[in-house]
Amino acid sequence: MEPPEIAQAVAILRRGGLVALPTETVYGLGADAANPDAVRRIFAAKGRPADHPVIVHLPEAAALARWADPVPPAAEALARAFWPGPLTLIVPRAAHVLDLVTGGQPSVGLRIPDHPVARALLHAFGGGVAAPSANRFGRLSPPRAEHVRAELGDAVDLVLEGGASRVGIESTIVDLTGAEPAILRPGAISARDLEAVLGAPVRVVERSETRAPGTLESHYAPRTPLRLVERSELTEVIRTSGSRRLGVLSRLPAPAYILPDRVRWRQAPADAAGFAHALYAALRDLDGLGLDEIVVEAPPMDEAWVPVRDRLRRAAHRET
Ligand code: TXA
Ligand code: MG
């Protein structure tokens, strides 16, 4: 038997309302992907430009054939290997897919999330659920239900509770519409993971090459200015910050010399997956303290840190 909140969420989707749903990456702001008025409400709630495409969340891999036309063989292989999971496939759209969902492009982004609440909702609803991350446009994605409530409030009809998102950063996006598969956004599933299934090289596209949202340099940013600092320079940066109030996110524990009312220190896990899981909650927490600057210890250069480095680079970028 499905829990009462799922039935309520399905009823809201059917009448064109908005439901925030937990996924293993971040929370999504969901609407019936076949209802143009409902999809328009997503853009209004987020304050997002209407030409930006949104990902369609599916109940099962069989739905790939209803949303993609044709279905690239690579999409079938990747769906089999990684769905449900933190991987979005960009594929040629089927004719019925709304321009509002695709941003008028000939392709559509599809994913099956790996979260019991999201899966229960998708199964009970049966159709596709269009869902960008459930944050205001340009802000950090929410890994917890309370972030969604604080940021979107009454603009959402229902926020489904699903605990802290396991991955904590957005899905890997792989574009399968070109001659070779290309990663448009790095995530928990790496180029290497994809190559192992496809038996072919997977390119990682520099985001400035595309014009999709989430590719804007200043996307995923806290309001407080954020700076990346090498570990070897942390002490000096703090020592020379004068009367300015700093937030620090580091893999190291807080040193004894810092003054807790001037420097808010948050220790993040030292492994890439743990750091990704903690990242947005820590930045949202520090962003709420009215500090002058957030200083983040630059992550290592290894392959495993590519997705975290990507998000931090964007968060540190200021449009001039
Ligand atoms: O983990 C995630 O992917 C989360 C959860 C909720 O599923 N969703 C998410 O959605 O991050 P959003 O809208 O914040 O980011 C989706 C990204 C955007 O950068 C968008 O440009 C890209 O996917 N995208 C969607 N459809 C596309 C398409 N047809 N072609 C190229 N990029 C596309
Ligand atoms: Mg987003």
Residue 3: per-residue pLDDT: 79
pLDDT at 19: 98
Tell me the mean pLDDT in the region 190-204.
97
The pLDDT value recorded for residue 300 is 97
User: Does residue 60 have a pLDDT over 90?
Assistant: yes
Which residue, judged by its Cα, is nearest atom 7 of ligand 1?
28
- In this structure, which residue's CA is closest to atom 24 in ligand 1? 53
Rounded to the nearest integer, the mean pLDDT of the chain is 94
**CA-nearest residue, atom 12 of ligand 1:** 132
DSSP 25-66: SS-EEEEETT-HHHHHHHHHHHT--TTS--EEE-SSGGGHHH
- Ligand 1 pocket, residue 307 CB under 6 Å: no
Q: Residue 272: is its pLDDT beyond 80?
A: yes
- What is the rounded distance in angstroms from the CA atom of residue 31 to the CA atom of residue 10? 10
Confidence of residue 320 (pLDDT cuts 50, 70, 90): very low
Ligand nearest to the CA of 138: 2
**Is the model's pLDDT at 317 over the cut of 90?**
no
Write out the two tokens for 110.
């599809």
Lowest mean pLDDT among 85-89, 126-130, 224-228, 240-244: 240-244
DSSP strand E in the chain: where? Answer: 19-21, 28-32, 55-57, 87-92, 107-111, 129-130, 158-159, 172-175, 182-185, 203-204, 226-229, 246-250, 263-267, 293-297
At 145 the pLDDT is: 98
Contact 194, 202 (CB under 8 A): yes
Of all residues in the chain, the percent with pLDDT exceeding 90 is 88
Tell if the pTM clears 0.85, that is, is over it. Answer: yes
> Ligand 2 centre from 244 Cα, in Å?
31
- Substitution site in 52, 67, 88, 174 for ligand 1 pocket (most atoms within 8 Å of beta carbon): 88
Taking residues 224-231, report their average pLDDT: 96
Q: Please, what is the Cα angle at 248 between 243 and 251, to 5 degrees? A: 150
